[in-house]
Amino acid sequence: MTSQAVAPREAQVFNDTLGAEIRLSEVGKSFGTRQVLNGLNLIVKPGEFLAIVGRSGCGKSTLLRLIAGLDRPDSGEITIGQMQAKERSEQVRVMFQDARLLPWQSVLRNVGIGAKGDWKAQALSALEDVGLATRANDWPSVLSGGQKQRVALARALMSRPQLLLLDEPLGALDALTRFEMQKLIERVWMRQRFTAILVTHDVTEAVTLADRVVLLEGSNAALIHPVPQARPRELGDPELGHLEASILHRLLQAKS
């Protein structure tokens, strides 16, 4: 139940990370009369993979949008490294539930969106990282859902961000594709060592990918659970299964 528990292996991973530290202090946000977040404090360590789970409407997507700078908090402060969250930067990238590719641009140009200078080689190598270099010149409309999300991942990682925000990016995919995407995300995260924050309603996904799982409930972090298992994580690891069960149990208790 302690928020600062760090397994020995984790400390080692966080060495020489490129990731940014994220600090949230007393963050509050309400829509009309509904208080979605209230006095939330959270520190995400540089290079950490944090998952945020919770029931629908618990404010987890809102929290991610605040960190991404897409919305402003009503109160409190969010810093990413040395920077305020509201400043836009190529150090922060977001992957949405839908791939949001531009249908009128080739896959390669989609990856290079907003990039300046000689971006083509970079974009191509980002596509290689997700195994889609051969589709560089295709229109996005001919790709499958999983391939589109891989292109979105390549686009997000092309600028080597310090922080990657994932807003249920695998929610719309079938089970098998989702599993492959999880492996892919884990692989690129281990290689590039950015800080990652994943919002998901899928507890299995959260414990598979995250170093810590935050359970959001009643407009605040109700539980922060470390996941110390070694990586790459195996499918059907009983330890992960136990963890998942206990988090799910806690989740089901809420408001019932």
Partner 1 sequence: MKQKALPRIVPWVLPCVILAAWQATSQFGLIPLRILPAPTQVLEAAVRLIQSGEIFRHIAVSSARAFAGLAVGGVIGFLLGLLNGLSQISDRLLNSTFQMVRNIPHLALIPLCILWFGIDEGSKIFLVAFGVFFPIYLNTYHGIRNVEPGLIEMGRVYGLSGFSLFRDILFPAALPSILVGVRYALGIMWLTLIVAETVSASSGIGYMTMTAREFLQTDVIVLGILIYAALGKLADFSTALLERRWLAWHPAFQGPA
* Footprint of partner 1 (CB under 8 A): 68, 70, 88, 90, 92-94, 96, 98, 100, 102-105, 113-114, 139, 141, 155
Q: What are 68's two structure tokens?
A: 């991404």
User: What is the closest distance, in whole angstroms, from the C-beta atom of residue 85 to partner 1 in the complex?
Assistant: 12
Q: How far apart are CA 19 and CA 47, in angstroms?
A: 4
Return the number of the residue (29 or 155) whose C-beta is nearest partner 1. Answer: 155
User: What is the closest distance, in whole angstroms, from the C-beta atom of residue 112 to partner 1 in the complex?
Assistant: 10
Return the number of the residue (8 or 114) whose C-beta is nearest partner 1. Answer: 114
User: What is the closest distance, in whole angstroms, from the C-beta atom of residue 189 to partner 1 in the complex?
Assistant: 19
Q: What are 145's two structure tokens?
A: 């859902």
User: What is the closest distance, in whole angstroms, from the C-beta atom of residue 227 to partner 1 in the complex?
Assistant: 28
User: What is the closest distance, in whole angstroms, from the C-beta atom of residue 139 to partner 1 in the complex?
Assistant: 5
Return the number of the residue (194 or 247) whose C-beta is nearest partner 1. Answer: 194
User: What is the closest distance, in whole angstroms, from the C-beta atom of residue 105 to partner 1 in the complex?
Assistant: 7
Instruction: Please report, as a single letter, which amino acid is at residue 173.
Output: L
CA distances from 197 to 5, 22, 71, 78 (A): 18, 10, 17, 14
Strands (DSSP E) found in 92-187: 92-95, 163-167
Count CA atoms closer than 13 A to 179's CA, side-chain side. Answer: 6
Return the number of the residue (97 or 220) whose C-beta is nearest partner 1. Answer: 97
Return the number of the residue (45 or 135) whose C-beta is nearest partner 1. Answer: 135
Q: How far apart are CA 40 and CA 52, in angstroms?
A: 13
Return the number of the residue (5 or 102) whose C-beta is nearest partner 1. Answer: 102
DSSP string for 161-218? -SEEEEESTTTTS-HHHHHHHHHHHHHHHHHH--EEEEE-S-HHHHHHH-SEEEEEET
Q: For residue 24, list its beta bridge partners.
A: 42, 78
